[in-house]
Chains A and B, each alone.
Chain A
């Protein structure tokens, strides 16, 4: 085991590069998330937020750079070694990504049964408990997820992510496409569940309200790099023009100029 002292960051990313053809999406991302902390990555559409997350999860292979979880390098892992890392991770996808061949409780119990080898009966019990924690009634257990609204699907996705009690939780745009009330509810659920599990959380979003609510630390990604990273409370007077423009949703500023020039 790599050294796991109290101050080893739970997730440490350094020098992460990824290009798709001519498109250099990530040009040296450096990030650290401490144990039990919550980081939000903000940034414009197409800035590489989802790609960063998928690299950390091992869904996309980065061109270069290091990703360490609990101090242990994960970039080269495959097969069982990768699955062991993933068994400690929960992920809520942008579009919920529920399995439409399974009903709600089977979706929520999937990780318990596949990765942790739990039998169907106790897994169902645990799935129902996880559903209750995100405000889903037990009578939804047998419903097909395709019949649920977007907000309900996000809740099922959240229940599926938390059911195996992971140490790390990833949220890809948890509030995008939801009305303000449902966004607020999802934010609160995320905060409560992360706190209860004592998990480390990494959220990517372009919803500033959500980022401020969920995160201890906010990082902004721009042109493949982290251009600013600091405590959530400092973001309003950080003095970085790109960040200022982004959080005030101004159409004029350094970001708009780049778009015109490009």
Chain B
């Protein structure tokens, strides 16, 4: 009603924010401890790598090929305004490898993988399967969270590598088929400009994004409450928070590699 209520509302939001951040940090610390300390569930980790990586290939591949192709056309349009059409190949490969490959693949996987992890672990929470794990002397962080974190962190760089190659292929196809550029010259200019650091920075981003995707899925699923509705909310929260964190960390990492 008056401005003091208004201030109280801001204070409440701030406290909730701090509370959530604290919880998340504790959760992450516990999860990391179980990632590095044995025993390891190798078979489950491998299964998760298949689920996260292999079955995401079509989605990531399609995203990459169209993005690469569109990029080639747009750069051509922009470049032709100051006679720089010849740089299409260079700009496509750098934007794909450094930026669009990791970010787009990660955003697609935030939708596909974060949500699936949150729904699965959330359902296990509300149906007491997580309590059952504990009573069977199995730590849920060890059995559920750690394998997913490891799998996503290892798999995303591989997926992004594939996305990079397919994206460059997309650009190549658009440039040669639609713009009539010379295939040999295009490929040569692409390979000449590419540096190792472009690839490693992109893959580092991918590993971080993979970790964030699995972390958000596990965190929201693990803390879901109250039946089907709670699991639904956890799924949405996982996708939204994973996407935002990906964009945030993308800036942080880009800035880091920039300096």
Contact = CB atoms under 8 A, between A and B. Distances in A.
Kindly list the 6 A-B residue pairs having the minimum CB-CB distance in the complex, ordered from nearest. Answer: A115-B137, A97-B128, A97-B132, A83-B137, A111-B136, A91-B135
A54 B127 CA distance: 14
Contacts of B128: 93-95, 97
Contact of B137 (A54, A86, A100): A86
Given A91-B132, A93-B132, A97-B132, A115 B138 contact: yes
Nearest to B143: A114
12 contacts: A59-B135, A89-B135, A94-B128, A97-B127, A97-B129, A97-B132, A99-B133, A100-B123, A100-B129, A111-B137, A114-B136, A115-B138
Interface string B120-151: 10011001110111111111000100000000
B62 to A, nearest CB: 28
B131 A97 contact: yes
A115 B129 contact: no
Contacts of A95: 127-128
Contact of A99 (B132, B134, B135, B137): B132
Given A95-B128, A97-B127, A97-B128, A59 B137 contact: no
Contacts of A54: 131
B136 A115 contact: yes
B44 to A, nearest CB: 9
Q: How large is the interface on B (under 10, 10 to 19, 20 to 34, 35 or more residues)?
A: 10 to 19
Interface string B100-124: 0000000000000000000010011
B137 A98 contact: no
A222 interface: no
B47 to A, nearest CB: 9
Contacts of A86: 134-137
Contacts of B124: 99
Given A59-B135, A98-B132, 11 more contacts: A57-B134, A57-B135, A84-B137, A86-B135, A86-B136, A86-B137, A93-B132, A100-B129, A101-B120, A110-B136, A114-B138
Contacts of B134: 57-59, 86
B137 A93 contact: no
Contacts of B129: 97-100
Interface of A: 54, 57-59, 83-84, 86-87, 89-91, 93-95, 97-101, 110-111, 114-115, 160
A93 B131 contact: yes
Contacts of B123: 100
Contacts of A94: 128
Nearest to B120: A101
Contacts of A160: 136
Contacts of A93: 128, 131-132
A59 B51 CA distance: 30
Contacts of B135: 57, 59, 86, 89-91
Interface in B136-182: 136-139, 143
A241 B132 CA distance: 36
Contacts of B120: 101
A90 B135 CA distance: 7
Interface in B11-50: none
B34 to A, nearest CB: 11
Nearest to B131: A59
Contacts of B136: 86, 110-111, 114-115, 160
A115 B135 CA distance: 10
A95 B126 CA distance: 10
Interface in B47-72: none
Q: B133, B134, B137 — which one has the most chain A CB atoms within 10 A of its CB? A: B137
Contacts of B131: 54, 57, 59, 93, 97
Nearest to A163: B136
Contacts of A84: 137
A84 B137 CA distance: 8
Nearest to B144: A101
Nearest to B123: A100
A69 to B, nearest CB: 13
Q: B131, B132, B136 — which one has the most chain A CB atoms within 10 A of its CB? A: B136
A114 B127 contact: no
Contacts of A98: 129, 132
A202 B45 CA distance: 37
Nearest to A166: B135
Contacts of B139: 83
Contacts of B138: 110, 114-115
Nearest to A87: B137
A101 B144 CA distance: 12
Contacts of A99: 124, 129, 132-133
Contacts of A89: 135
A59 B129 CA distance: 12
